[in-house]
Each structure stands twice: as C-alpha cells, then as structure tokens.
Structure 1
Amino acid sequence: MTILWTVLGILIFAVGLLFSIAWHELGHLSTAKFFGVRVPQYMVGFGPTLWSRRKGETEYGIKAIPFGGYIRMIGMFPPGADGKVEARSTSPWRSMIEDARSAAFEELQPGDETRLFYTRKPWKRVIVMFAGPFMNLILAVALFMGVMMTIGVKTQTTTVETVQPCVIQQSEKRTDCRPGDPVSPAQAAGLKPGDKIVAFDGHPVTEWTDLSQRIRDKIGKTTITVERDGKQLDLTATLIENKVAKKDENGQIVDGYTTAGYLGFGALSVDQPLSFGESVNRMGDMVEAGVQSVVDLPSKIPDLWDAAFNGAERKADSPVGIVGAARISGEIFGLDLPMENMIGLAVYVLAGVNLSLFLFNMLPLLPLDGGHIAGALWEAARRNLARLLKRPDPGPFDVAKLMPLAYVVASVFICFTLLVLVADIVNPVRLSG
C-alpha cells in the first residue's frame, strides 16, 4: 500500500507540474495575442509531439519531455542591419545569431509584417515576457496561502511534548543517554509531557519564539510556571550552558551551533491556520528566502558534487530538481500522516516549484524570460535617451546578437541540471530517515 501511495504522490506532482508549465505558457500566449502578435505554436514539453490540435492560427500540443514548454511567436528578433532575415556566415558565432533570426521568421506569412513581436513597443514586450513567470508567481501565492489559511502551518507551542532525560549537545546528533550524561534541567525540575508553560522567570509567555529565546538567554536557577491538570504549578529549574542549534534573527534554525541556555524539552507542534495578514507576511518571507536561495545557487555546487559523486551527506537545503521534487512528493504520501496534512505538504512542494520557476525565469539572462525583458528595457532606455538628446532613433535592440551568450548560459544551466539530477537519483533529499 505504501508503494501505491508513493506512486500516487509522484503522479499527482507530475500532473501539477504539467499544469504549472501550461499555466506559465498561457501567460505568454494570452498577452501576445492581446497585443496582436501571431503565435503559431503553444506547446507543453519538448521533443516529439504526443498530441496536438490546431485552433485558429495556433497549434496547441503536448510533447514527450515534460521539463518545460514554449510558445512560438513570429518575429522574436529583428532583421539584420542590412534588412535581411537570413545571412549565412562561416563564423560559428555569427551562424548562431542568424539561425536564431531565421527561426523567428520561418513561419512568416503574408500580412504578418504588422504582427511581429519585435515591432511591439518595449513595454508591451516586457508584459508578454513577464506574463509567463508572473503566472507561476500567482499560482505559488495561491497555493501557499491556501494551505496556510486552511490546513495551517506547523507551529511550535509552549506545551511540552517530550522531556529530555539527560543533557546531550545537539551537535552530537544523538538522542540516547549514555552513562555519565548529566540529568537535564527539565527532568530534574519535574517537567512532564502535557505541561503548558505559561510563565518563565516571572514573565508570562504565550508563544514558543518568546519562550525559546528566554531559555537561551538564561543560565542558572529560574522559576517555570506550568498548567497541569487545570492547575498552575511553579517548578524550579537550574538552566545550564549547552551547545544548541543556531537561529537567525527571525528565530529560524540555521546551519551551525552556538552556546546558550538549555532546559531540555521538546515543544508540541500543531497545525495553526494563519490569518490573511499573517499569510501575506509569511509569503513575503518565503519570497525573500527564495531570492536568497537563487543567489546562493553557485555556492551549493561543491556540496552537490560531493553528494553526487563522493558519497557526502546531502544537506536539507540542497537544491533539488524535478526528479527530486517528484520523489519528495511521493515520499509525502508514504508518511503516516492524516490525508489533509499529506495534501498540504504536496501542495507546498508544487507551490515551491512555481515560486522557483518565477524567480529563475526573472534572471536577466537569455534564453530566460528575464533576458528578453532586459533587452526590451535596454531598448526603451536608449530610445528615450536618443529622444532626449535629439538624436536619431537607434531602432530596436537586436537581442539575436546575444545568442552566443545565450548558448553559454544554456550550457551552464544544463550542466547544473544534470548535476542536480544525478544527486537526486543517487543521494536524494529525504523527508525522514
């Protein structure tokens, strides 16, 4: 049964991924058609076509490799300086440029002269190219906030779930007590599972973040007030220094350890639905963390290489690809959790993929959408500058001239994707164990 649930989780992710790709391309398609650009093709996937149907002037279809999609717009690049669409050259770099230019006009039909993408004003081209990633952002926000406001997010409370019987440094990564380990302050004070801590050192506490920080800041004897069986009870504990996990300014666990006050208990976590405002704030934090993750990608390559080829530990914050995300989704449905929690986690994975697609595509590099946006913005800037200086209009910016750079960028992305794929297969990120 577990295997069946795992397969179901993978299939659900695959369907969600295909929808996300189609949703992305729908953004490009709808805005391109709105601005009068002819779009001969709308495809989900790459490689051989599995199914297609023509409606009006556009062929809609699904291809065999579900790792992306595209729409084909007429006139993505302007003609060359000589006004010609195609000019062969013995230079490999020049050939890349002219091949791209030729592909942009290969389905040109009579009457298309007024429907070319490059003839649209820069702000219209920005909208068309931004619309795809923006659709992923809309979907990510809707999925994330939908889960936050209904199922909720795991929130630690001030209620005791477990009491650590002895003092163990968290850096040791063990849970069993050994001879010679001192009794934990929580055990010595008589703290019990089910106790709700309502005050610490004379200060009322209602949130885990406040209680956790007060514990970390305290060394020595203190009074802990708990609710037990409907009554309040004062316990006396002597907190000690211990090596514990490091936290950032938002109270989130980060890599590394630090010395702080130690009590020795595990807090009970519950699913807590968030309000709309709280969800918006949490969403903002997630976008900020996503941006930082994209910035940090180059620094993750050595760890990925070691995990893929040297048997090193795969870190929890390691980048994962489509295969890794599908595997995680499958693992979610194999967990011993209520159905709503499994669905919530699976939706989180799909939402995370959509947020990553938005952030990744906004990088100002060809062949990504952000590269075309940067080209349109540059064209607008230089045209406005020429108008201000009363100089001749420089004309459209020839993005095709950047195609050699685009091939380099694409090669780097392909190599990185293959590295992540290998790591996801031989040394995957796991939710447990």
Structure 2
Amino acid sequence: MEILIMAGQLILGLSILVGLHEWGHMAAAKLFGMRVEKYFIGFPPKIFSFHRGETEYGIGAIPLGGFVKISGMIDESMDMSTINQEPQPWEFRSKPAWQRLIVMLGGIIVNVIVGIIIFIAIAYQEGDRFLSSTEVNKNGIVAGELAQEIGLKTGDKIVRVNGKPFDDFSQVISSDVFLGSNSSYTVSRDGKEIEIDIPNNFIEKLSDPDEKRNFIRAREPFTIGEIIPGMPAAKAGIKEGDKVVSINGKPVEFFHQLQDELQKLKGKPTSLVVQRGAEQKTLPIKVSEDGTLGFYPKSLLNYTTTEYTFGEAVQVGTENAFAVVYNNIKGFGKIFRGEVSASKALSGPIGIARLFGGVWDWSRFWELTGLLSMVLAFMNALPIPALDGGHAVILSYEIISGRKPSDKFLENAQKVGMVLLLGLMAFAIFNDVWKVVF
C-alpha cells in the first residue's frame, strides 16, 4: 500500500506540474497565432484524447512527462515532414525570433509562477513552526548513525553552526550546512565545547530520506498522543495522556529511547509501565512486527509558531521558492568540483516518490510539489539541446546576431539533446534501482 501511495503522489504531482508546464508553451504559441496540433499529459501509448479546434488534447499511458506539438517546430517528436516546405504563417518557424523565444520560455515561466504561489500559500496557511535552539538544548540531540560517524553523540548540545549561533533547529540540517564547504558544528559536551567538522561530500550519505530524517533529532520528552484503533496500544488499554515510565524493565524518558527498545522487541510480548495521574500502571503488551505500539507521541518541548500576514507570506514564500533554485545551483557546483558523486546526488522517479513517503499528507504533498515545480523550471532552463534552455540559447543567438541557424543544425542539435536526455533518464532510473536494491 505504501508503494501505491508513493506512486500516486508522484504521478499526481508530476501530472499537475507537467500539465501546467506544457500549457505555458501552448498558451504562448496560441497567443502568437501558432497552430498547436497536440497537447498531451503523459507519453504514448494514448489512453484517450479529444479535439477542440485545431488541437488534440489527450492523456498518455506513461505518466512521467508530457508534450505539446507546435506546427513547424523541431521538437522531441523529430517530425521533419514539413522541414523542406515553405513556412506557413501559422507555423513556429515563420514567427519572429522574440515570439519563438517567449514560447520556449513559457513552460519555465509557468513553473516558476506555480512554485512561488505554492510556497506563498504554504507560508500563509501554515506559517512557521520550529524548535528553538534553547528548547532543543534543554535535553540535547539524538545522534543517528551518520551523525555518530562525524563525531556527534546523543546528548550533545549544538551551540553554533558554521561558527554562528542559530535560532531555528532546522538550520542545523539546512542546505547552507551540507551544500556549503568546510561546514562545522560547535557542540557542548560535558561542559566543554568541541568542534565537529562536516566533510564536504557528506551530503552524499544523506541522499536517503530516512538517513536525513534520522541524522539529528531533538531528544523529546513525551506523553501518549492519539492512539490508533486496533493497534497494540489500544488493545493494551493505553490512554491518551499516559506517560511511559519503562518498557521491559528499561527506564524511558525520551521518545527515541522507547523507539530503540521497541526495535529490539519486534513481535514479542513485554510489559509497559505508564504514569496515569497519580498512579503507575503495568500493562502487558505485544509489540507489532514493525516495532511500533500504534500511537502518536505528544512532544513536551515547546515549539515556536510564527504566523504571517499575506504580505509577509508573499516575501517568505518567494524567498523559499528561489532558495530551491539556489540550492540546485550549489548542488551542481559540488558535483562539478568532485565533492559529490553524481550517482549519489541525482534521483529519478523512484527517489522522488520516496520523498513523498508512504502516507498521504496533503501538506507535505504541496510542499514537495512546489519544490518540484522550481526544480522542473531550473532543469528545463539548462542550456542543453532538446530542453527549453537549449532552444532559448539558440534563439537568443539569432536575436543578437540576426542570423537564423539552419534547419539541419537545429535537427542535429535536437538529436544530440535527445540522446543526452535519454541517457540521463536511463542513468537516473538505474541509479534509483541500485540504491533500493543495494
């Protein structure tokens, strides 16, 4: 079921973004009187289609992209049937270069606008909820395996990031830390301050969503929150508001301690001691096969919540949207400098689906869809033949020089670009499978 939910979120998110991207091209083309022959979400084989005016609208069976076919344009369809004929007034190639440039940038522009709107809506609707450094440092951090590799320990208190104090705990695992160079944490341990250096290629190890999620967490005291019906906690009589004192005779103060013990007790019967009001109760309970009891913890740490006015949300959302582009540029910089391998940094459809997770969370769905919209805009803007950015470079040359490249040149450039893109897609899919299997 989790796999289906992941796939469903990926398909829905990409269908929305690709549909809007291709609509951007189509809208610009129609604005300038170009004939749009086809508008499809998904690649062939065709599931269904209908005609309205001169355009065929349809859905393809492979939901990992889409396309528009504009008359007289050399595109991924590689249709050369009219290339040796006189350009017709409704064709792409008969229009001024500046109009053709706007058509090619139409999809990128729409994706940027969509990404900004999504981030603004999230900022306005949800505001910002975070743990302050002061609140986290009441109990320190939980150091996962990767955090321990670089020298962090559970109970450490992080007081500075890259030599600077911080307010929001999320800054500890921000892109500035992992996409920058020579980053470090300053931690307080046993009354002493220690510098922990972060390797420049460390982001490779955080490519797995689970690894990043468990890298560093706050040590959180907790009580029992919502209980899931039919799960071990409900069957054992645990109630919302109970405080876990011990499990299997092991004292429990923080949620991560309970999680660690449950992983050792998968599928086994044990006893749980809880504090309920003024009395303690010992409850027999059988841990589920996946090492859970079936409840949501209620953190006893105090989260800081910031709400934004619409004007503030516009500023914050726009900044967050363009931060995605900036982080992609920094990520590519690390790859080109050899600090990070492409196989670790790049993800295909499987890797993206894993980001969505196996639970349908609309808040997370829209956050990732906004992020993907900005990534899609950035990737399409790269100056690679067959991408919008490649077409834009050629058209910009034509506008500046006043000379139009030959149709043969455009055809060959498109072929080279398609080979590069297909190779990159094959690499990304194989890389995803390799990560999952090995």
- Same structural fold, with TM-score higher than 0.5 when normalized by the shorter chain: yes
Rate the CA distance shift 1:169–1:122 in 2: closer, same or farther, 3 A.
Answer: closer
* Per-residue deviation, 1:299: 6.6
Aligned length: 324
Secondary structure class of the residue paired with 1:367: coil
Let me know the Cα RMSD of the aligned residues: 4.5
Secondary structure class of the residue paired with 2:34: coil
Please tell me whether Structure 1 or Structure 2 has the larger radius of gyration of its CA atoms.
1
Segment drifting more, 156-165 vs 18-27:
156-165
Gaps of 5+ in 2: 178-183, 206-216, 221-300
Secondary structure class of the residue paired with 2:383: coil
* Per-residue deviation, 1:176: 7.6
Rate the CA distance shift 1:291–1:219 in 2: closer, same or farther, 3 A.
Answer: closer
- Identify which of 345, 352, 356 aligns with 1:325: 352
Conserved? CA contact 1:366–1:403, under 8 Å: no
Secondary structure class of the residue paired with 2:420: helix
Per the alignment, residue 55 of structure 1 pairs with: 52
Segment drifting more, 396-405 vs 354-363:
396-405
CA distance in 2, matches of 1:273, 1:125: 43
- Identify which of 364, 369, 372 aligns with 1:350: 369
One-letter amino acid matched to 1:409: G
Rate the CA distance shift 1:64–1:139 in 2: closer, same or farther, 3 A.
Answer: same
Is 1:423 equivalent to 2:424 in the alignment? no
* Per-residue deviation, 1:32: 0.6
One-letter amino acid matched to 1:414: L
Deviation sequence 1:255-289 (CA, Å, 0-9, x none): 89xxxxxxx97596666555322333333322211
Conserved? CA contact 2:128–2:305, under 8 Å: yes
* Per-residue deviation, 1:406: 3.0
* Per-residue deviation, 1:163: 3.4
Secondary structure class of the residue paired with 1:162: coil
Per the alignment, residue 43 of structure 1 pairs with: 40
CA distance in 2, matches of 1:68, 1:206: 41
CA distance in 1, matches of 2:346, 2:326: 16
Conserved? CA contact 1:171–1:243, under 8 Å: no
Is 1:102 equivalent to 2:129 in the alignment? no
Rate the CA distance shift 1:301–1:18 in 2: closer, same or farther, 3 A.
Answer: farther
* Per-residue deviation, 1:101: 6.9
Q: Percent of aligned positions with the same letter in both sequences?
A: 21
Deviation sequence 1:207-239 (CA, Å, 0-9, x none): 3479989x967989xxxxxxxxxxxxxxxx832
One-letter amino acid matched to 1:102: M
Secondary structure class of the residue paired with 1:40: strand
Secondary structure class of the residue paired with 1:401: helix
Gaps of 5+ in 1: 78-95, 178-183, 187-196, 221-236, 248-252, 257-263, 306-314, 334-341, 384-393
Secondary structure class of the residue paired with 2:130: strand
* Per-residue deviation, 1:26: 0.8
Secondary structure class of the residue paired with 2:33: coil
Per the alignment, residue 293 of structure 1 pairs with: 331
Is 1:68 equivalent to 2:65 in the alignment? yes
CA distance in 2, matches of 1:151, 1:139: 18
Rate the CA distance shift 1:185–1:304 in 2: closer, same or farther, 3 A.
Answer: closer
Conserved? CA contact 1:144–1:283, under 8 Å: yes
Conserved? CA contact 1:43–1:70, under 8 Å: yes
CA distance in 1, matches of 2:96, 2:107: 18
Is 1:13 equivalent to 2:21 in the alignment? no
Deviation sequence 1:90-139 (CA, Å, 0-9, x none): xxxxxx9xx95724559x8x9x8211211211111111110012111112
* Per-residue deviation, 1:412: 2.5
Is 1:412 equivalent to 2:420 in the alignment? yes
One-letter amino acid matched to 2:106: A
